[in-house]
């Protein structure tokens, strides 16, 4: 099970996430994000024992791979309009925003290692803090990571309805964009672990 804290911008938040039981931390390399971090700065943040995930939006495979090398990434999380032909040569989690018109069937043959399903965000790419109908996910036959509006108050319900491979929290556990509220983050991780019986 993946317990991911995304939008990490500093060592203190990374350390608190790992101490709280996170199994993955995310770094946002989309320059328009309020949670943007440079690859060099991300490389300086220790994350022993957890997956390092990079968030990208419509970057070329070569650029993703170059950043992955600098920032010591394990996974590229792709939030743009990328197709399988655009994937870098590394583990990929393909992100998709779920709204009322979302068709899961269009992702059946997606070659990604996992599908990260985020709430609707308009023109934004993640971090909008909006949920979606998690019960729609239960029948999807892929590794699913739930994102979008998760915190301690609803992660157990999300897990019970969707039976995902992982959960991902960001904006709802922050005191400001890019700065985690350690109490909220800890409560989220504890609630997720309890729901999983971990």
pLDDT in tens, 160-180: 999 999 999 999 999 999 999
**Run of H or E residues at 61:** helix 61-71
Taking the C-alpha atoms of residue 86 and residue 192, their distance in angstroms, rounded to an integer, is: 33
**Run of H or E residues at 179:** strand 179-180
Neighbours of 109 (CB within 10 A): 8
Neighbours of 177 (CB within 10 A): 15
Taking the C-alpha atoms of residue 27 and residue 10, their distance in angstroms, rounded to an integer, is: 10
Report the domain count for the chain. 1
Model confidence band, residue 138 (pLDDT cutoffs 50, 70, 90): confident
Average pLDDT score over the chain:
92
Catalytic center residues: 6, 118
Count of alpha carbons within 13 Å of 166, Cβ hemisphere only?
A: 27
User: Can you give the residue range of the structural domain that contains 81?
Assistant: 2-196
Can you say whether the dihedral through the CA atoms of 162, 163, 165, 170 is positive or negative?
positive
Taking the C-alpha atoms of residue 10 and residue 37, their distance in angstroms, rounded to an integer, is: 9
Angle between helix axes 182-196 and 11-19 (nearest 10 degrees) is 30
- CATH code where residue 190 lies: 3.20.20.70
Query: Cβ(114)–Cβ(1) under 8 Å?
Result: no
Model confidence band, residue 147 (pLDDT cutoffs 50, 70, 90): very high
Q: Which residues contact 150 (CB under 8 A, 6 or more apart)?
A: 131, 158, 167, 168, 169, 172, 188
pLDDT of residue 99: 82
* Model confidence pLDDT, tens digit, residues 39-96: 999 999 999 999 999 999 999 999 999 999 999 999 999 999 999 999 999 999 999 9
Q: Which has the higher per-residue pLDDT, 124 or 58? A: 58
Q: What is the DSSP letter of 36?
A: B
- Provide the token pair at 67: 């950043």
Neighbours of 19 (CB within 10 A): 12
Inter-CA distances, 156 with 167, 193, 196, Å = 10, 9, 8
Taking the C-alpha atoms of residue 53 and residue 15, their distance in angstroms, rounded to an integer, is: 15
pTM to 2 decimals? 0.93
């Amino acid at each position: 099970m993946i317990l991911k804290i995304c939008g990490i911008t500093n060592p203190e938040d990374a350390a608190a996430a790992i101490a709280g039981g996170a199994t993955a931390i995310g770094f946002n390399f989309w320059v328009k994000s309020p949670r943007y971090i440079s690859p060099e700065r991300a490389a300086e943040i220790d994350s022993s024992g957890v997956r390092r995930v990079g968030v990208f939006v419509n970057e070329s495979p070569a650029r993703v791979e170059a950043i992955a090398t600098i920032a010591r990434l394990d996974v590229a999380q792709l939030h743009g309009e990328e197709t399988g032909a655009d994937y870098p040569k590394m583990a990929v989690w393909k992100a998709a925003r779920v709204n009322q018109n979302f068709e899961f069937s269009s992702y059946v043959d997606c070659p990604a290692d996992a599908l990260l399903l985020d709430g609707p965000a308009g023109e934004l790419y993640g971090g909008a803090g909006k949920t979606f109908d998690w019960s729609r996910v239960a029948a999807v036959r892929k590794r699913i990571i739930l994102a979008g509006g998760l915190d301690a108050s609803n992660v157990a319900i999300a897990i019970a309805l969707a039976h995902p491979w992982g959960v991902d929290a960001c904006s709802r556990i922050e005191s400001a964009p890019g700065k985690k509220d350690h109490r909220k983050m800890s409560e989220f991780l504890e609630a997720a672990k309890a729901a999983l019986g971990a």
